[in-house]
Amino acid sequence: MKKRLLCLMGIVFAAACITGCQQKDPEPGDVAGYDEGEEYLSIWVHSIEDTEEGQAYKESVESFNEAYDGQYFADIEFVPRNDSGGGYSDKVNASVMAGGLPDVLTVDGPNISAYAANGIIQPLADLTEEEESEYLPSIIEQGTVNDELYALGVMESSVGFYYNKDIIEEAGIEIPDADDSWTWSEFLDILEELKPLMDEKDGYPLDMTFPVGETSIYYFAPFVWSGGGELVSDDGLTVDGYFNSDQTKAAMEFFRTVVENEYMSEAPIDHLFESGRAAFKFDGAWEVNTVYTSYPDLNLGVAPYVVSDDWDGEAYTPTGSWAFAASSETENIEGATELVKWMSGVDSGIRIWEMTKNFPSTYEAFENIDVFQTDENYSALYEQLSNYGHPRPKTPVYPQVSTCFQEVLESVALNGKDVDGELDKAVERIDQKLERYTRE
Amino acid sequence: MKKKNSIMGMAFFGPALVLLTLFLFLPMLLTFGFSFTDYFALNPELTHFVGLENYLNIFKDDLFVQSFFNTVKFVVIIVPLQCGGALLLALAINKAAHCKKYFKVAFFVPVVMSLAVVSTLWMQIYSPEGILNTLLANFGIDAQPFIYSAGQALPSIAIMSVWQGVGYQMIIFLGGLQNINPALYEAAEMDHASGWQKFKDITLPELKPLCVFVFITVTIGAFRMLVQPMVMTGGGPDHSTYTIVYDIYETGTVNWEMGLASTMAIVFTVFVVILTIIQNVLTKDKEERKHGNKKAKAN
């Protein structure tokens, strides 16, 4: 008898374990600030509460609750993630299966297509033209899938093509204007010219690597785009003819030339550029802040991103960051859209810049931050972003595209493998993953 | 009385059983089930039963096959080095007259450190202008690429892993050494046995059960290699350090293909289980033979 009782207790305990994980919207009064008559909106962010970024989101949510007092109440939950985004996406994946997605959640830019294609997020309620025009074009472009706007980011990112002013001056080289970038051929000549000088300094003309992870496609896909190429088709469902196009091939071969002529080190050397042993470097916009705070002696400049010889003025420079989207489970799309707009709006953008030094996503925010007017490097990055920003490929199989891009780059540029063979192999691999979306 | 005992037993065992069922047995069964489907994490509703398709596909997948052989390479390098190294260290420390505690702690510290920290540390050591290359330069040897070349990355990571893990097995051996009855050595000395004879005929046989344990745990540990390549090389260059567990992780969480990842996990598990059974059978045989010999001698 008692045995049965114990068994029963065990089952109850197990059931409690399972149901304990499932969330239900609280009643007014359960959460501080949530009053009678307000509509409840839950929001997940991908950072830890103790970080600057987490605090910025928290403050934005608090100001939302003040502004919409009596109408909406937003409740923020911090979901920590590891470097590759694991913890956060695990939780999202689990909720997709078990239910319990919040009203609003953050999504990494390149994942928006996959989330939209699989019905995890839904299009936002219509924005007015004026509201849309507040955002940088790259942000709208990143959040749009099949002509519908799904997500708006509070931050935008960019990659700078940095140079060491002292070295460039010593070599007597002139940096071109923003709309008149060096083409690959011109840039190769410059690298050749710099080679002897940099050998003297025990360095390389270029501080560049092709690391595993998101970095490679983020920094170097612009070389494909500036030649008029794309990595995937517009609908994101075809790669054959895109990923293995002549433009991609040309970009890969350009990198091989750079490696073969020893304009860069094959194995990464730490702080090569920062220690004055490289003339150029591609790096995220955060590099400006790093140099200003940690390497004050380095005379930093931002040159326009190098373009293909075939460039005719189209957008091509790196962009993309985490954005806010409304989950498919929300029944209050109007409220969720208000929250998304608020979280990505001007004030939130200025806050994210002040607390984390991430670029904001609206024109007005940039105009209200002094350094984008006064500092030549920051203003150059802003100009590049607003005039030439190009989002990463929009396809539901983005992770595979990103991985393949890095692999091809590494095997062609560093290991000297046949570019056609590698690109075709990659296309085959991506096609396999696309089957899920194309077989119907 | 007996009944009371069984109730008490259940009371102690019950919670563990529930937790194990929930978080171990059930997920294992689910994984087995998923391995026959195309379960996609972003869209579970579209899951179809695909039979053995996944099983056929992964063996056609060059990357999975490569990661399999990479993992085997890791095991082949790590197991002898780590088992042998642990035994040598234990013997040396056991013999050491001074600073025994210091050495014990020094060799054990890497075990306590987080693998991610150790990996980052060794990235500095292996870097083109790092400590190791600076040392080599002193001997007139050219700078080596280590983790940045497809040829050297795997052995470099394997050696680092041995350094990181060897302290744990060393402590186990050390415990074993201290448990050997000193009378055995005294008797051997009276028979004028050499050091090597003492090691071969007393130390090794006495340590045998521990050797089996260490051998099996190191093998399984090496098969599960993931963090080091993930932090240091990202599986590169050219997939030369991409392991099975890494492939399972990438397939399941980065590409969201849980069905395929489950299949890989099942294949991997079956392989390790078979290997462990073989190891068990081999070592048991030897032990039985030993007991048989002893009996024969006694007679």
Task: Give me the residue from A96, A397, A400 closest to B44, CB to CB.
Answer: A96
**Top-level class of domain B62-298:** mainly alpha
Contact A156, A321 (CB under 8 A): yes
CA distance A339 to A72: 9
C-alpha neighbours within 13 Å on the C-beta side of residue B133: 18
Chain A to chain B Cβ contacts (< 8 Å): 86
CA distance B299 to B293: 10
Instruction: Tell me what pLDDT residue B234 has.
Output: 85
Contact B279, B215 (CB under 8 A): yes
CA distance A27 to chain B (A): 30
CA distance A189 to A309: 13
Fill in the DSSP letter of residue B213.
H
Radius of gyration of chain B (CA): 24
Instruction: Tell me what pLDDT residue B285 has.
Output: 59
CA distance A118 to chain B (A): 6
Contact A261, A186 (CB under 8 A): no
Instruction: Tell me what pLDDT residue B1 has.
Output: 55
**pLDDT tens readout for residues B20-55:** 999 999 999 999 999 999 888 888 887 889 889 899
- Quick check: A14 and B22 CB within 8 A? yes
Task: Give me the residue from B11, B18, B42 closest to A14, CB to CB.
Answer: B18
- Quick check: A6 and B238 CB within 8 A? no
Let me know how long chain B is.
299
Grouped pLDDT means (10 residues each) for chain A, 440 residues: 50 49 66 84 92 94 94 92 68 86 93 91 93 93 93 94 94 90 94 94 93 90 94 92 95 95 90 94 93 94 94 92 94 94 95 93 94 93 93 91 93 91 94 83
Instruction: Tell me what pLDDT residue A249 has.
Output: 95
Q: In Å, how far are A96, A97, A105, A237 from A118, measured between CA atoms?
A: 10, 12, 15, 14
CA distance A86 to chain B (A): 7
Q: In Å, how far are A252, A262, A407 from A244, measured between CA atoms?
A: 10, 26, 13
Per the model's pLDDT, the better-predicted residue between A126 and B99 turns out to be A126
- Quick check: A6 and B149 CB within 8 A? no
Both structure tokens of A66: 């003040």
- Quick check: A270 and B148 CB within 8 A? no
CA distance A164 to A298: 7
Single out the residue of B34, B119, B19, B154 nearest to residue A18, CA to CA: B19
Chain position carrying tokens 């996609």: B40
CA distance A383 to A304: 10
Q: What is the mean pLDDT of residues B190-219?
A: 88
**pLDDT tens readout for residues B49-71:** 988 989 998 998 888 999 999 99
- Quick check: A212 and B235 CB within 8 A? yes
Q: How do the domains of chain B map onto residue ranges? A: 62-298
CA distance B249 to B264: 10
Instruction: Tell me what pLDDT residue A31 has.
Output: 79
Q: What is the mean pLDDT of residues B242-266?
A: 91
Longest dimension (CA), chain B: 78
From chain B, pick out residues whose CB is under 8 angstroms from the CB of A436.
38, 40, 46
CA distance A351 to chain B (A): 31
Helical (H) or strand (E) element with A336: helix A333-343
Across A186-234, where does the E strand assignment appear? 204-207
ipTM for this prediction: 0.77
Instruction: Tell me what pLDDT residue B286 has.
Output: 58
- Quick check: B255 and A120 CB within 8 A? no
Within 10 Å of residue A87's Cβ, how many Cβ atoms? Answer: 15
From chain B, pick out residues whose CB is under 8 angstroms from the CB of A268.
127-128, 148
CA distance B272 to chain A (A): 26
- Quick check: A399 and B255 CB within 8 A? yes
Residue A210's DSSP bridge partners are none
- Quick check: B129 and A213 CB within 8 A? no
pTM (two decimals): 0.85
The model's confidence at residue B293, banded by pLDDT at 50, 70 and 90, is: low
Instruction: Tell me what pLDDT residue B143 has.
Output: 83
Contact B74, B222 (CB under 8 A): yes
Scanning every residue of chain B, which has its alpha carbon at the shortest distance from the alpha carbon of A11?
A: B18
Q: What is the mean pLDDT of residues B174-178?
A: 91
Chain mean pLDDT for chain B: 88
